[in-house]
Structure formats: structure tokens, C-alpha cells
A and B are shown apart, each in its own frame.
Chain A
Amino acid sequence: MSGKLSIEDIREKLAGRTGEQYWRSLDELADTEEFRSAMQNEFPTDAPVWEDPVSRRRFLHLMGASIALAGLSSCVKQPDEKILPYVKQPEYLIPGKPLTFASAFTMSGFATGVLVTSHMGRPTKIQGNPDHPASLGAADTFSMASILHLYDPDRSQVVRRNGEITTLDKFLAQLSGALDAQKALGGSGLRILTGTVTSPTLAWQIESLLKEYPKAKWHRYEPAGIANEREGSRLAFGEAAQAIYNFEKADVVFSLDADFIAEGPAHLKYAREFSERRRVRGAKANINRLYCAESFPTVTGSVADHRLPVRASRITDFANRLAAVLGVDGAPSSQLSDGEEAWITAVADDLKAHRGASVVIAGAYQPPSVHALVHGINEALGNVGTTVSFVRPAEFDPDPAGSSMTALIEDIAKGQVDLLVIAGGNPVYDAPAELQFADAIEKVGMSVSLNIYNDETANACGWHVPESHYLEAWGDARAFDGTASIVQPLIAPLYNTMSVYELLAEMTLRSGKKGYEIVREYWKDHSMKSAGAADGDFESFWNRSLNDGVVPGTASPAMAARFRGTEVIVAAWKAPDAWKSGSPVRISFPGSEVEVMFRADPTIGDGRFANNGWLQELPKPITKLTWDNAAFVSPSLADSIGVHDEEIVLIEVNGARCLIPALILPGHPPDSITLHLGYGRSHAGRVGNGAGVNIYPLRFSTTASWATASIVRTGQYSKLARTQDHHSMEGRPIVRSATVTEFETDPKFAREMSHVPTKAESLYPGHEYDGYKWGMSIDLNSCTGCNACVIACQSENNIPVAGKDQVLNGREMHWIRIDRYYSGDLDNPDIHSQPVACMHCENAPCEPVCPVSATSHDSEGLNVMVYNRCVGTRYCSNNCPYKVRRFNFLQYSDVEHPTVQMMQNPDVTVRNRGVMEKCTYCVQRISAARIDAKKEDRSIRDGDVVTACQSACPAQAIVFGDLNDPLSEVSKAKSQPRDYGLLAELNTSPRTSYLARLTNPNPALGGAEKGREG
């Protein structure tokens, strides 16, 4: 759909609607002829199954040939298969049984504990580590998808010199020579560039290197890190501190542009705690309240009770006004409009009413002054010590000012840098635009890039050394609270690669010391005692740390952070900086100025995950865009400049330009544009190259979060693959929600919204289930729409990536999808997320239409899919009201690359072309639990079967278990009054049911009646 619709028309239509007010997209609201015809087909009309025009005669030719070939191919004998036993079998390994090891995944330096499943030596699945403070058992999309990088056929496999293949020995000889020269100079020409370093071992190695080369310098750069937060704590307290929030104790939360549920090193913990406070059992709801003023519709905003779209630079005004209303001494003054003033006053009143039980939190893209002021606000609210505490930062960060990227470029320009080692990171792609990193690198005598990809930086550097993946190399890292984990490898390096620890060892010791020895040496000689282990007991300390995935006693000590007052903040705020707030930018188009906001992409991050097919194809939260970034604009801004969906716009910032398709996003602040970083890679690999538009050339170090830009329409269009309208359910009561007040007067509101036929009304006899009866309950009140379940499912069930063209045709393969619905007005709608997978209907409409019984019911109520029987008629998918069946139109599964096949879960069939597939309730996990139970002659206990989606969910919104057991968690969830079946009025009797969402609006903001009445 090119979507040339008028926003005015849509507003009129929306105003004319009564009753249920849920809508999925602007196209749906506009309800154009084009949209209707697209929705009538299961797959869009522009999706020809046969690409070429085919004549009848040609068709017969082909059919004849294929029948003959099909007959012939079935005559071929099954080829011989080999079995290769171990030579010496490890004693802890039972062939055919997976093992699980604890390790840690790092993102921008900070660790999340993971448990990695290994099948006969091949890591196949990553899940969260319940013992790790940053995971608590949950996992996010990045950590789970990182396994794909290990097996990525595009990974760098050889050492290169100026692009030519060479050997590691030659590199080491060259490096040794360069270091000898530096030794004489005291290291004055040596520079090291890394990302954030929390690894105690690496910090120790770098320290020793700097001791050996006293004039050398270590620089750090993160394109989207926590620098603002740290600088804010320095402003507020005079020293860097890590704030840790406890959302479990917070009744009222106010987020100032903070997507704390989906971003940042502690987001899994925060999501867990926040959702815990949204959990409702019974007919009384005592849930927290979230206010959110944000510059882009985020996951956090979508679960807020009150959400206010505000462009990024004006968040400062809200922080200032809040501080003033709450009586923080000397708060900078700011002007808000009358409506905003009323809003912030209501928020302030609510916060004041919950002193010591509230949290105010600022977002990573907000300037240090906002972070500092928020610390003052929390102190004024008495939250410090109850919901907010401070610890020493986990990262090793000496001399933060002198270690910047800018300082490095200045030194290079002065010709002072002879040897530059870039360990990880991709500064040629993501460094601030004005630094011209690629040009600078040419002036360096010997430049080295250590990276797992042969990326932009590797291509610009003289030397490129392939890096080991974290599942291949020993290491360590700290979580946000300082807790250290040993990064434990599960497989020997697939290629001749090196870890950063090994490179540093080469530089300091000039010896090929292995990562294992380095990390062990650090913990044994330097840190075991500080971690609280007894002397001489290193082996048990080490084994315990490896087993648990956390090193005991390494959490950072708490620090008493005292707010220094607002003077410093005011001084910082008054400095001539980009974030300084003025009057709202006047918009008069065409071609005039507007604010652009730069954010890391929600699925591929700052670009480091660009070559990850799972993450590229993952529909981004709220926007539901895949494979691309876009210029997100609000409906009102689109209206005033006349831009349409998918229309390419020219955006110019400070002389730098980019052409990028626009997307109209309801709930986006009216006077800004959001651009996501991470796309437009030129050397990412086959998956990431050419996807989207590179935004980094528009991003300068002084305007890293937002900038003033001009926008011009081009009249050209570019297709964007969005999944928001796929699998539409035609305006039935799908998502159900109510306010807390409405719920308490009518707890069964969700069930009453449709008539569900009873068993007695059905003509057909029901199934009998005398054993287990599997079922699932999804709590929409906890679900945040963070996408973790989608990637968990993809990884567990060998779900292939289809590609942008296929997504455009509605052929994405995810077994579980997150539907996004809006309700309310265009400018600030409520946003609802709903995970939808196969419902395992008891009266499944797909079953009777299958001509070959490839889909059928089993005795435990699973609606099973037998791939080897499926002939691909697609009748089942046609008949499925939930549109959860996925068809392999083409050979999507990668059967070509041996490394990708190593990644597949051996307990799940890899599907071929022409086969239907769908959610199986993780039948392989049920089977494993059943066999274990039967061997012990007992029944499966509640909690023995954890589906992949359930295990990943940070919000614990998904519960799975036996419905025949009245004490199981899932039975308890389903007995809740909020329980309702999706489209249960069709008498499908779905096994998956939902718990309706509740919102807790502030009566002072007139929201008490806003809800299902609409």
C-alpha cells in the first residue's frame, strides 16, 4: 500500500467511530478500497505465487516433467549415513542429551547472564540465567540472536592486510616490530580504542599495557551507550555512580524519555520488576502507575497509563518543571503549555503522594543535566534508599574526559599516532560524522581492527584480525551492578581467530597466551580474595563461578551519593549546547526546520547486529517495520508537510543529507522526526548490506541525540516491509482492556465482551483428555511487547528467515507474532501489544480441511503439524481465524551453509519448501519432559515443561502447563476473571487464552473512564 491517504479524512473517520476503538494502522482507519482488497486475501494481491506468466501448454510441460521427476526421485535409495563416535568420550556427556553451560553475553560492555544449550558440542540455544542479576532467567532479543553470529557464514575467517589474505604469524611479527618501536618512545604513538570495558581481566591487561607504555592512550567509544547517564551522576554527585532502581517498590513511576523496559544494561531486571507490579490476581487490582513523557513511541510508552509524546529537546522542560513543582531548590525555570502544565502538576501530585515509593527515571538519550536533575528529584521525593540506590559504576573508566574519540582524532591529525589498535567496535561506520574517522585512519602508521566481521573499519584499517565469538573464547564481564561473570566458551574457535584478551597478551607479554590462562591468572592472582574466596581454594572458587554464571561476592558496594544541588546543573544547562531548550521550533514547510532525534534501532541496535537475519526480520516494537529504518513522523507533521507513508524525504542536518522513506507513526511527537541508527551498512555481510539508510553521517558529536534538520519531500516512494496489517483480524474484539475502576466494578468484563458457545451448544462431541491437557495463558497486563518471545521461538524451533521481499508478500515465518493495536486518537493513541501464536483450538478449524490429515489433534490436546505428511494445499491456513500458520513458499531454511546447520536444534525438524508450519507448544520440550517423567514413573510436574517463549519472557506474561491439574500455574491463571479466549465466539475453544489488560489512569487527568468504553 503506498497509502496516499489524507490524515484529515482519517481523523474524521476516527471521530465518527463508536464502540470499540481499536485500530491497527492508518491504512485500516482510512479503509480505502486498496486496503480492503489487500486484506481480503490471506497474502497480498501483489504476491504472485508463480512469477512468470505461464501458458497452459507450458504449465502441462512443467507438470509432466515434475511428476516424472518426483517419481524418479522417490526411487532413489536413502543415502548411507555415517556415525562418528568419540575417540575419548567426555565423562559428563551422554550422547544425544543436551548440556547447559552458564556464560555471559555483553552488550555495550555490560553483561547479561545466559545459559547456553549445547548439543554434542554445538551451542544451539541461549536462554537467561536465573542466578544473574541482569537476567533473572529472562533473555532479550540481542542475547538470544547472538548465537546466529557464531555460525554466520559471513564472519571474518582470515587475517587481512590491506584487504589481502595473510597469516596470523605475519601480523604478530609486524605488531611486535611496531611495539618495539613504541617501547623506545614510551608508547607515545600507541593508541587503543575499545568500547565500554567492564571486564576485570581486560581492565587489568590494559592497565599493565599502559604501565609498560606510559605515554600510550586508551580511548573508548560507544555510539549508543550510557555516557549521558554517567555524566549526569558526575554533575549530581561529583562522582560517577550507577543508579539502580527498584520498581517492585514503586507505586508511581515517571519516565522522562526512558525506555527502561527495553533498553539499557538492567532492562530485563526492570521489566521483571515492573511487570510484577502489574500482576493482578482475583478481582482486586493493586497495580502501579506509569507516566511516560517520551520522544518516540517505545515499549515502555506502550505500557504507560499516561503517555505524552514530547520531542526530545523539550524533555528538559518537563524535568525542570517537575523539579520546580516538587520544590527542588534552584530548579531551572522552563515554560510549558497549559495542557502540559496540568499534566506535569498531576504527575507531581501523584509522585508527592507516593514519597519514598516512586521512581523518576531519565532516558539514555537525554543530556546529563536531565539525569542530574532527576537524581535531585528522586532525593526530594525521598526515593533514595527505598526505590533508588547507587553503586560504583561497573565499567573501568579512568580519565573519562581524555579518552574520548575526539581526542583520538586530534592526536591522529597531529600525526602523533603510529599504532592504533581498534579492539571491537566499528568507528568508521558509527563515529560522529565530523570526525571523518575513515580519513583519519589513513594517517596512522599501523592500524589494526579486531572484529568478528570484516566490516567498514576492518576494510579501512591496514590490518584486520578476525575475533573469536564470545561462545568461542574465555573472558569475563560485569553486569550493571558490578556482578562479574566468567564468559565461558562452548566450542573451540571455528576459524583461526583471536580474542581481545589474547591480542592484549600478545601486546604486553609477546606470547601466545591463551584466553583461558589469562582469565584464570587474573582471578587467581588478582581478584579471588576480593571476591570473598578462601586462599588456596582457587579450583572450587573457579568451578563454582563457572557453574553459577556469576562470581560470588563481586557486586559493587553501595555508595552514598549526595545530591550537590542544582547550581552545577544550571551551569551545565546554560552552556551553549545542543540540548538547550528554546521555544518550540516553528514549523513552516516545505523545506524548513524541524528536530530530528537519533536512536539506536530497537532490533539491530547501533548497527552491530545488522548482519543478523533474525533481528532484521523481527518486526520492531510499535512500528512493526522490518529490514529497514525510516523517518518516523507524526500524523500531524505528515499532514502539514504533505508527506505520505513510504515517500522518500530528504533530510539535511548541518550540511549532511540523507534520503530515507518516511513512515507516519501515530503517537509520535508532533514536531520532530525520529531516525534509527544501525542501517545502511556497506560491509556488514550479505544480510545487512544495503538494508536501510545510514544515519550516522547526520550525527555529530555535539548533536548525538538530536539536531535541527530540514526535511523536503521528493515524491519518490520506496517499499517498506511492515507486518502491521498482515494477519489482520477484521475488527473483532481481539485486545480487551479496562481501567482498574471498571475492572473492580465488573471483573468479568473481558468475558462479557463476546458470547462464547458452551459445550452443550455444540453439535460435535468434545475431545476427552484423561492425561495431560496442555494450555497456555498470556497476561496482556504484564506483556510489554518486547519481542523476546519471538526470537526465543525462532531459535528453539529452527524458524527460517524469509527476507524483505517475502515479508512484503506477507510471508514472514514467525510462529509467534506481537500484534500491535492502537486505540483512541491519532496523535496520542493508547498502544496495545498482544502476542499471538497457534491457539491449539479444541475445535480446530484447520483440522477438518486438511485432505491428508497432516494436521490433527493428539490425545493431550495439541494441534499437531506433521511435516512429512503435508502436501502444501494451504487449506488449513486459509481456514485459520487466527492466521498463525506459516507456509514455506520457498526453500527458506538454510540447507546450504554447514555452519548454519550446526546451529539448528536437532530436536525439531528443519522444514523444507512446500510445507506448512506453526507453533507446536514446543512439543519437543513436552516430549523430553514426558520421557523423563515416564522413566521415573511419575507424572510431569508443573513447571517441568517451559516453552521457549515462556522462558525468555522478562515480564513472565506467558504461563504454560497442564489444565487437568487444578493446582498448576496455568489453571490458576485461567481461573482469573480477566481470562478470555481470542475469537472464542467462533466456538474454536482455544487452548491459549489471554488475561485482559488493565490500565491505572490518574483520575486527576480524567482518565478513569478511558478504556473499553472508548
Chain B
Amino acid sequence: MAQIFHPSMKVVSRASIILAVIVVLVLGVIGGAMYRSGYTTNVGNPREQIVPFSHEHHVNGLGISCGYCHTSVEKSAFAGIPPTHTCMTCHSQIWNTAPILEPVRESYRTGKPLEWIRVHDLPDFAYFNHSIHVNKGVGCQTCHGRVDKMPLTWSVNTLHMSWCLDCHRAPEKYVRPKSEIYSMTWTPGPDQLAEGKKIVDENHIKTKQLSDCSVCHR
């Protein structure tokens, strides 16, 4: 029986094998980059909302503390999005005819809630609890960044599991004194590791337990 393939096919077949490997690798690298990119994670991607709410203006300009609107942050898993009535405590008096606030007034009139786009969206199988983090020395800014500099809100962290674990494995790198929880300007000092260690001990944070699967997944 005659040869089916010409000897030159040897080169072609070798080249195609090498090419296939390269293609797979390149695809892998692209995929990985995509996975980490802001396109997928929405990091650095200011989200358009029904009302262009500016944290910069309210926090930095007016000095309103986080807890004024996010009332349940110390008590519940969910930090809480302010009800329309909270907005209207001020905006029934000031900017009460501003066209951009019309959705708020409409919500107030009709009783229909405002629809916000979630900026920090964890997958449903991860159970995050705000209250325990703020009670144990994790500041708002540590995860949410300088919202006082955000005219529209975006996320500054990927919320990937490796990012969570970075702190869960070594919380002393990130914790701060309880008095500074809501501070936007607090920065870790040069002796953060030693200071953090102290806070970890004071707050009875059990680091060993923090990397248990059951802490976040149930």
C-alpha cells in the first residue's frame, strides 16, 4: 500500500502541533487577562445609575459619614442602601427641583423603590457579612477605596477569592483601630504589621479559622 502522506507532511504536522500548543497558551493567557481585567470584574468602571449619585460630594463635600445612609453596616450582613425617605430628609429642602433628582421625588411620590445597579456583586455562593468586618477593624476604605473621591461609584477591588484570602490569611496587614473604621484618609503606618497584630489580638480575631471554607461558603 502506498504512503498516504507525502514526507513533507512531517514538517506540516510538527508545525501544527507546535502551533496548537502556542494557540492554547495564548488563549489561556488572554483568558486569564480577561478574567482579571476591569471588563469582567468592573474594577475602575464607574457604573451609571438612575441618579448620578456622587459619594465625592456627599462624603468629601458635605462630610456625611458612611453610617448615616448605610445604617445596618454594623448590625447586619447587608450594609443597607438608604430608603428614599433618607434622601428626602435633605432633598425635600435643597435641590428640591433639580431635574436629576426627579427619580428620587418620583419614588417618594409613588412609593416605588429606586433601582440601583449593584457595584460590588459577590457570587451567590459567597456569604459576606459587613457587620463582623467593621466590628473587627476592617475599614470601609480598605475594600471600597476612596469613595470620597468618586463622583460616580466604582469598585477598586476584584472581589476575587484570592483577594479575600489575602486579608483572611494575614488580617494584621489591613486592620485599623476601631475609631478609624469610617475614615477615608487613614493610611497604614510603617509599623502596620506590629500595630495590626495588636489590633488582631485585641479584637480576638482568630486567623486560623478565617481560612475555613465554612466561614464564607455554606
Listed in ascending order, the chain A residues whose CB lies under 8 Å from chain B are 75, 77-78, 80-89, 94-97, 771, 856, 858-860, 862, 864, 866-868, 907-910, 920, 923-924, 926-927, 931, 934-935, 937
Interface contact A868-B217, CB-CB below 8 Å: yes
* Contact string against A for B residues 62-104, beta-carbon threshold 8 Å, 1 for contact and 0 otherwise: 0000000001100111101111110000000000000000000
> In the bound complex, what is the Cα–Cα distance between A81 and B129 (angstroms)?
18
Near A by CB (< 8 A), chain B positions 120-147 give 121, 123-127, 129, 131-132, 135-136
Q: Is the CB of A85 within 8 A of B118?
A: no
| Sample (10) of A-B pairs whose CB atoms are under 8 Å apart | A78-B121, A82-B117, A84-B113, A85-B114, A96-B72, A858-B212, A860-B209, A860-B214, A909-B218, A934-B132
Listed residue (A82, A95, A860, A864) with the most chain B CB atoms within 10 angstroms of its CB? A95
B9: CB under 8 A from chain A? no
- B214: which of A78, A858, A908 is its contact (CB, 8 Å)? A858
Are A935 and B135 in touch, CB under 8 angstroms?
yes
The contact of B131 among A908, A909, A931, by CB within 8 Å, is: A931
Could you list 19 further interchain pairs (A-B, Cβ under 8 angstroms) beyond the known A95-B80, A859-B212? A80-B118, A80-B121, A83-B81, A84-B115, A86-B83, A86-B84, A86-B85, A87-B113, A89-B83, A94-B71, A94-B76, A97-B76, A860-B214, A864-B214, A864-B217, A866-B213, A920-B214, A934-B136, A934-B204
Let me know if B132 and A85 touch, CB within 8 A: no
**Residue contact B204 to A85, C-beta cutoff 8 Å:** no
Q: How many angstroms between the C-alpha atoms of A868 and B84 in the bound complex?
A: 36
Known: A94-B75, A931-B132. A88 touches B83 (CB 8 A): yes
Q: How far is the CB of A895 from chain B (nearest CB, A)?
A: 11
A residues near B117, Cβ cutoff 8 Å: 80-83
Whole-angstrom CA separation of A95 from B78 in the bound complex: 6
**A927, B218: Cβ atoms closer than 8 Å:** yes
Residues of B within 8 A of A864 (CB): 212-214, 217
Interface residues of B in 169-206 (CB under 8 A from A): 203-204, 206
CA distance A631 to B116 in the complex (A): 58
Whether, in the assembled complex, B14 has its beta carbon less than 8 Å from a beta carbon of chain A, the answer is no
B38 CB to nearest A CB, Å: 11
The CA of A420 and the CA of B127, in the complex, are separated in Å by: 53
Q: Which A residues are in CB contact (< 8 Å) with B39?
A: 77
Could you tell me the distance between the alpha carbons of A82 and B108 in the complex, rounded to whole angstroms? Answer: 19
When chains A and B are docked, how far (Å) is the Cα of A1006 from the Cα of B56? 86
Q: By CB atoms of chain A within 10 A, which of B81, B121, B218 has the most?
A: B218
Does B34 touch A at the CB level, under 8 Å? yes
Which residues does chain A contribute within 8 Å of B218, judged by CB atoms? 907-909, 920, 923-924, 927
CB contact between A859 and one of B112, B123, B132, B208 (< 8 Å): that residue: B208
B7 in the interface, Cβ–Cβ < 8 Å?
Answer: no
Interface pair A934/B113, CB less than 8 Å apart: no
- A85's partner among B113, B126, B129, B131 (CB-CB below 8 A) is B113
Q: How far is the CA of A80 from the CA of B50 in the complex (A)?
A: 14
B208 touching A87, Cβ below 8 Å: no
Also in contact, A75 and B83, with CB within 8 A (given A771-B206, A927-B218, A935-B132):
no
Tell me, yes or no, whether B40 is within 8 Å of chain A by CB: yes
Residue of chain B at shortest CB distance from A98: B76
CB–CB B72/A97 < 8 A: yes
Residue of B nearest to A912 (CB): B125
Interface contact A82-B77, CB-CB below 8 Å: no
A891–chain B nearest beta-carbon distance, Å: 16
CB A308 to nearest CB in B, in angstroms, measures: 47
Task: Provide the bound-state CA to CA distance between A285 and B164, in Å.
Answer: 53
Contact with B84, one of A88, A97, A862 (Cβ below 8 angstroms): A88
Among candidates A81, A87, A94, A910, residue contacting B85 with C-beta atoms closer than 8 Å: A87
Q: Which residues of B contact A937 (CB under 8 A)?
A: 203-204
| B115–A867 CB distance below 8 A | no
Q: How far is the CA of A934 from the CA of B205 in the complex (A)?
A: 9
Inter-chain contact B214/A87, CB cutoff 8 Å: no
Q: How far is the CA of A94 from the CA of B107 in the complex (A)?
A: 21
Q: Closest chain B residue to A77 by CB distance?
A: B40
Residues of the B chain whose Cβ atoms lie less than 8 Å from the Cβ of A856: 213
Q: Which residue of A lies closest to B85 (CB)?
A: A88
Residues of chain A within 8 A of B85, CB atoms compared: 86-89
- Report the 3 A-B pairs with minimum CB-CB distance, sorted nearest first: A96-B78, A858-B212, A96-B76
Q: Roughly how many angstroms separate A908 CA and B127 CA in the complex, as a whole number?
A: 9
A81 near B121 with CB under 8 A, answer yes
A77 to B40, CA, bound (A): 6
- Let me know if A909 and B214 touch, CB within 8 A: no
Given known A85-B82, A87-B84, A935-B135, contact A95–B116 (CB-CB < 8 A): no
Smallest CB separation, B135 vs chain A (Å): 5
* Partner pick for A96 among B77, B115, B213, CB 8 A cutoff: B77
- Contact in complex: A82, B132 (CB < 8 Å): no
Closest chain B residue to A921, Cβ basis: B214
A85 to B204 alpha-carbon distance, docked (Å)? 34
Contacts of B214 in A (CB 8 A): 858, 860, 862, 864, 920, 923, 926-927
* Docked complex Cα distance between A539 and B71 (Å): 30
Cβ of A909: which chain B residues have Cβ within 8 Å of it? 124-125, 217-218
**Is B127 a contact partner of A907 (Cβ separation < 8 A)?**
yes
- Considering the complex, give the chain A residue whose CB is closest to the CB of B77: A96
Q: Is the CB of B116 within 8 A of A83?
A: yes
Q: Which residue of A lies closest to B116 (CB)?
A: A83
How many Å lie between the Cα of A504 and that of B214 in the bound state? 52
Q: Kindly provide the distance from the CB of B147 to the nearest chain A CB, expressed in whole angstroms.
A: 16
Q: Which residues of B contact A910 (CB under 8 A)?
A: 124
Pair B111/A931 contact, Cβ less than 8 Å: no
Instruction: Return chain B residues, CB-CB under 8 Å to A77.
Output: 39-40
Q: Known contacts A75-B34, A907-B218, A935-B135; is A85 also within 8 Å of B116 by CB?
A: yes
Name the residue in A84, A85, A910 with the highest tally of chain B Cβ atoms < 10 Å from its Cβ.
A85
Cα–Cα distance between A81 and B120 once the two chains are bound (Å)? 9
Shortest Cβ gap from A125 to chain B (Å): 15
- Contact indicator B129/A931 (Cβ below 8 Å): yes
CA separation between A937 and B77, bound complex, in Å?
18
**Contacting residues, chain B, for A934 (C-beta < 8 A):** 132, 135-136, 204
Query: Which residues of chain B have C-beta atoms less than 8 A from A868's C-beta?
Result: 123, 125-126, 217
Q: Is the CB of A94 within 8 A of B72?
A: yes
Chain A residues whose CB sits within 8 angstroms of the CB of B78 once the complex forms: 95-96
Residue of B126, B136, B217 with most chain A CB atoms under a 10 A cut-off = B217
Alpha-carbon distance A920/B214, docked complex (angstroms):
9
Query: When A859-B208, A868-B123 are in contact, do A85 and B72 touch as well, CB less than 8 Å?
Result: no
C-alpha spacing A80/B40, complex, angstroms: 11
Chain A residues contacting B115 (CB-CB under 8 Å) are 82-84
Chain B residues, CB < 8 A from A82: 115-118
Residues from chain A with a CB closer than 8 A to the CB of B118 are 80-83
B209 A771 Cβ-Cβ under 8 A: yes
- The answer for the CA separation of A654 and B101 in the assembled complex, in Å, is 77
Q: Across the interface, do B77 and A867 meet the contact criterion of CB distance under 8 Å?
A: no
CA distance A934 to B129 in the complex (A): 12
- Distance A97 CA – B204 CA, assembled complex (angstroms): 24
Closest to B217 in A: A866
Residues of A contacting B215 in the complex (Cβ-Cβ under 8 angstroms):
858, 927
- For residue A104, give the distance in angstroms from its CB to the closest CB of chain B: 29
CB distance from A967 to the nearest CB of B (A): 21
What residues of chain B lie closer than 8 Å to A80, measured between beta carbons?
A: 117-118, 121
Question: Shortest CB–CB separation between residue A93 and chain B, in angstroms?
Answer: 9
A contact residues around B116 at 8 Å (CB): 82-85
**When chains A and B are docked, how far (Å) is the Cα of A103 from the Cα of B214?**
33
The CA-CA distance from A97 to B127 in the complex, in Å, is 13
